[in-house]
Amino acid sequence: MLSMAATQAKIASKFTIEANQQILKNLPFNNKEDFKNAQRGLIAKPDTLTIKTSDGAPVWDLEAYKKYISIDKTAPGTVNPTQLVMQYGLFEVIENIYQTRSYDLSNITFVKGDTGWIVFGPLISKETAAAALIFINGNLGQRPVVGIVYNHSHMITMVVLKV
């Protein structure tokens, strides 16, 4: 559990503000083609995306980010101005390869195999991984997880995915 001090907002450091301003200068924020491309393959998305522990504590809350990141407004100095994280939901990448995006700091990829899902990048918590699995199974049909590929460091989520 986070302490009260850890949950209180902090002012951005000069370094953070400068880094975020540099992103605004370097990326083509006036070109909205990336937003169009980011929606390609969208199958479904929940109305809200807040994932909690079994006792109700938030693990991931995209709704909180929506206060700061919007296509129509500038992010404050404490927030990276990249807005594509708001393009969330279940997407078909190509036939038999799907992603749930923005269920965590990273995306999770599901490959539809003959006997079940092969998962690439299982997210950072068992709750977010479980929510992604429930969402894809709810939209594409129930399939077991038959394999997990850790393509970079992740917290252990194998228990929830029952491999």
In angstroms, the Cα distances linking 20 to 57, 67, 69 are 29, 17, 13
**Domain contains 52:** yes
**Domain contains 5:** no
Residue 158 and residue 98: Cα distance in Å, rounded? 19
Asked if 12 and 80 count as a contact pair (C-beta separation under 8 A), the reply is no
pLDDT at 44: 97
**Domain contains 24:** yes
Give 73-130 pLDDT, tens digit per residue: 566 676 666 667 778 999 999 999 999 998 988 889 999 999 999 999 888 888 999 9
CATH code at position 120: 3.60.15.30
Domain count across the chain: 1
User: Which domain covers residue 88, as residue numbers?
Assistant: 12-161
Give 11-38 pLDDT, tens digit per residue: 888 888 888 788 778 877 777 787 788 8
Residue 150 and residue 109: Cα distance in Å, rounded? 11
